[in-house]
Amino acid sequence: MKRYNVQIILAVALAILAYLAQEEIIGKYALSVLMFMGINVILSTSLNLVNGYMGEFSCGHAGFMAVGAYVSSVLGVMLFAKDKVFGPALLDPSLSIWVFPLIVIIGGIAAALAGLLVAIPSFKTRGDYLAIITIAANYIVISVVENIDTIGGARGFMGMKSVVKAMGKTIDMPWMPIWVFIFTILSVWIIRRFISSTFGKGVPAINQDEIAAEIMSVNTNKMKMVAFMLSSGLAGVAGALFAYILGYVNPGSFTILKSTEVLVMVYLGGMGSLSGSVLSAILFTLLLEALRPLQIIKWVVVPFLLILLMQFRPEGIMGNRELPDFFPRLKRFYAFKD
């Protein structure tokens, strides 16, 4: 019984979410907040893999998000929507319902390949120097997108709404919340399983002593490549979902500011704590929404909270620990270390 508890809870949660969205019991606004929460969870957990577990400082996460967003948007629009540039739909729009998850995953794969831009320099470079490389990677992606006119350049790219509508027309269900939910769970699940395996523990080994890791049989180059590609790939998935939720992407949404936002979530939750990252992503999303009435002053209050956090709890909400370290009773429902 213990083995299936979490799966059952998640399935029920998904069903309730789908029902509430379908019957429009929760409004469009609340639903979009929930979806952004999911995206932020993917972003912060995947960045934690590099910044927390591996101990590098990547600040170009939004760049990989942009790759995922653009690749999946262009692909989706090309296949299922009529577009000025890409012409009529290549496939029957009713197929979109089946192909959509594939499109999101392809966006993730493209972003993972873009992650090589950072992974390969990381073989020889560490710390501050690698951080500069990640910033450069972010700028490269943004500049490339801004200069390709076929995908709208700096004006942005749209048409994804019609793909989402086509999905809803085929089978009337709130598809976007469902997919965001599934991909969020999937991302956290992949990272957790990776990081708790002996294979994945090579990543914190690099963090704690890279020389020892290399000499004690860990192929550090391979581990760095896996960690960076997994991290940027999941950022790509988040970007793809982001694009389809908004129905519009422009390079301005993926600048270094967005990367910083993700960094804040990681540090808020605690480095090397997966549950911390999930928690802080949820809190941070809620906080930003709650402070919305303050308008522009919000960006004074939020950084100020960050200063307070760093002063009084520099290790983040969870520090290096996971949820069951705080609430041992949770272990009754789920075997955390397997």
Residues making contact with other proteins (CB under 8 A): 190, 193-194, 197-202, 204-205, 208-209, 211-221, 226, 320
Shortest distance (Å) from residue 316 CB to other proteins? 15
Task: Decide if 156 contacts 251 (C-beta within 8 A).
Answer: yes
- Output 158 or 213, the one with its CB closest to other proteins: 213
Shortest distance (Å) from residue 6 CB to other proteins? 14
List the one residue out of 13, 5, 52 whose CA is nearest residue 329: 5
- Output 194 or 248, the one with its CB closest to other proteins: 194
Shortest distance (Å) from residue 338 CB to other proteins? 8
Return d(Cα 39, Cα 32) in angstroms, integer: 11
Q: Tell me, what DSSP letter sits at residue 115?
A: T
Amino acid, res. 245? I
- Output 164 or 229, the one with its CB closest to other proteins: 229
Shortest distance (Å) from residue 205 CB to other proteins? 5
- Output 247 or 319, the one with its CB closest to other proteins: 319
Give the count of beta carbons closer than 10 Å to the beta carbon of residue 153. Answer: 14
- Output 201 or 298, the one with its CB closest to other proteins: 201
- Output 194 or 336, the one with its CB closest to other proteins: 194
Return d(Cα 61, Cα 50) in angstroms, integer: 10
Return d(Cα 206, Cα 214) in angstroms, integer: 8
- Output 171 or 211, the one with its CB closest to other proteins: 211
List the one residue out of 222, 203, 262 whose CA is nearest residue 66: 262
Task: Decide if 277 contacts 269 (C-beta within 8 A).
Answer: yes
Shortest distance (Å) from residue 190 CB to other proteins? 5
- Output 198 or 311, the one with its CB closest to other proteins: 198
Amino acid, res. 238? A
Which segments of the chain are extended strands (E)?
Answer: 157-158, 248-249
Shortest distance (Å) from residue 196 CB to other proteins? 9
| Torsion (CA) 11, 22, 156, 61 in degrees, nearest 10 | -20
Return d(Cα 282, Cα 285) in angstroms, integer: 5
Shortest distance (Å) from residue 201 CB to other proteins? 5
Task: Decide if 272 contacts 49 (C-beta within 8 A).
Answer: no
**φ/ψ of residue 190, rounded to 5:** -65, -45
Shortest distance (Å) from residue 17 CB to other proteins? 25
Task: Decide if 273 contacts 319 (C-beta within 8 A).
Answer: yes
